[in-house]
Homo-oligomer: A and B are copies of this chain.
């Protein structure tokens, strides 16, 4: 479980670096499918991860508005800020989180914490797959999605 978070965060950071080669207009450009734009996809991944983690802890959801984060630097900064909190939580409370029965404001059903953690992981990988299609449309090489063959920065970094 933790390994997938480490993987997702490393791939996300690689995509942030990749984004540096593009003008903000390209990052915000509306594209077909997915969540609509490259930058919004990255924002959405962070937002969903953080919201569900708040949900598992029965904390009130913090709603981020994309209108406040329409630059690469702001989305990267949001990612870094949220990650510190999420990493700390996973590091110290993973087993308890998995056992929680969770209901959240934006969904009628109840889920286990374990299922929500699976959902967060799959959600990010799915959307990153979409970025790779858009990269090819821009005639750029996408970031590799390989799980093997990479060195992970441990989640215990802070």
A interface, CB within 8 angstroms of B: 3-4, 7, 32-34, 107, 109, 111, 114-116, 118-119, 121-123, 125-130, 132-137, 142, 145-149
- Oligomeric state, in number of copies? 2
Q: Residue A130 contacts which of B118, B129, B146, B148 (CB distance < 8 angstroms)? A: B129
A133: which of B4, B107, B130 is its contact (CB, 8 Å)? B130
Q: Which residues from B are CB-within-8-Å of A3?
A: 114-115, 118
A109 proximity list for chain B (CB < 8 A): 148-149
Whether B33 and A132, one on each chain, are in contact in the complex, defined by CB atoms closer than 8 angstroms, is yes
B132 lies within 8 A of A145 (CB) = no
Chain B residues with CB below 8 A from A33, complex form: 132-137, 142
Task: Write 15 A-B pairs (CB below 8 A) sorted by A numbering.
Answer: A7-B118, A7-B122, A32-B137, A34-B132, A111-B149, A118-B147, A123-B146, A126-B126, A126-B128, A126-B145, A128-B129, A129-B129, A130-B130, A133-B133, A133-B134
CB pair B118 A4 closer than 8 Å = yes
With beta carbons under 8 angstroms apart, the residue of B114, B125, B142 that contacts A125 is B125
A125 to B8, CA, bound (A): 12
- Contact yes or no, A148 B111, CB < 8 A: yes
